[in-house]
Amino acid sequence: MAQLINDYAPKQICDAETWALVAPNVRAAVLTQGLTNRDTTFHWMAYTTRYFAWCARQGHPLEITQELVDAFCDSLNLAASTVQSHRTRLRRMGEAQGTIAPRSRTRYTQKTSSGQAPYTPDELERWWQIASAQKTVHRTRLLQAVVAFGAGAGLTTTELGNLRANDVRPHPEHPELWLVHLPDRVVPIDHAWLSRCQQVLTGSYNGYLFGSPHSQGKDLLTVVKSKAAIPTDAPDLTVRRLRTTYAVTMLNRHLSATEFMAIFGSTSAITFERLARFVDARWDDAEYLRIAAGIA
């Protein structure tokens, strides 16, 4: 995405003279986020450009501080949800650049500590590389399918075993949005994983990603791993942890509880408790209290 960030030029947010002034600050801030999706990167560039252009017009320093972020957000004449998106993204970049103090992640104390943490981006990339390095195309595709549809759609072992290529298709009105149509729900594919999920689909046979409906049952991943060449230093691969990774990603995008349950296929309070300690919180400066009160 570095080239895309470098080539970006706003069309309406500010004039060419202002852009020439703030462009280095915008690029440096967005690069801290390690974005991998084109559309997401464009959104971040627009949000960040709007902020720095405002700083330039107001004669403020071209840096992201909590005081300036609050003043900028107070000046926006936009929907409360959009204002909050600006505030959250700017704060993340300020934290990454060291101009805003990191938020505390420890205010919430979970009563039970069961449940594994989500995979890190590096761990997922390692597993994709392992899958891609298998000796046969068949073994590569099977392991890639587990990783892609586990991390990218949060499917259970049973759902993976029964997944057919024609269960996965774009939304009829939003072609960039791809969905997995399951018997009990519809699951959006995380856009960061879409190209890899599509890559897996092109190699499916007999309609089913794993060859036949639910052929390996509960031991699907065990069978797939038993046939694969896996380095001894690879992190453990489990469907539950892949599913946790997807769930935490969705919760960090601020879905409502109802929306999350509809996508994830769980109504268990225990599930929420297990996931809560991995979800970003906004404790500092009463941010979460302002959100709850409906104050942008």
DSSP bridge pairs for 164? 208
- 120 secondary structure, DSSP code: P
Residue 112: which pLDDT band, with cuts at 50, 70 and 90?
very low
Mean of pLDDT values over 53-66: 94
Token pair in block for residue 142: 């099977």
- Domain, as residue range, for 62: 2-97
**How many other CB atoms are there within 10 angstroms of residue 248's CB atom?**
20
Same domain, 166 and 235: yes
Amino acid at the residue 46: A
147 and 259 both lie in a single domain = yes
Looking at residue 213, its pLDDT comes to 56
Same domain membership, residue 249 and residue 129: yes
> Residue 220 pLDDT more than 80?
no
56 & 127 share domain: no
19-33, 60-74, 109-123, 125-139 — which is least confidently predicted? 109-123
Q: Are residues 146 and 54 in the same domain?
A: no
145 alpha-carbon distance from chain centroid: 18
Per the structure, the count of domains in the chain is 2
Give the model's confidence band at 189: pLDDT under 50 very low, under 70 low, under 90 confident, else very high. Answer: very high
Please tell me whether residues 85 and 143 are part of one structural domain.
Answer: no
Statement: residue 105 has pLDDT above 70: no
Residue 265 has pLDDT above 50, yes or no: yes
Do 178 and 246 belong to one domain?
Answer: yes
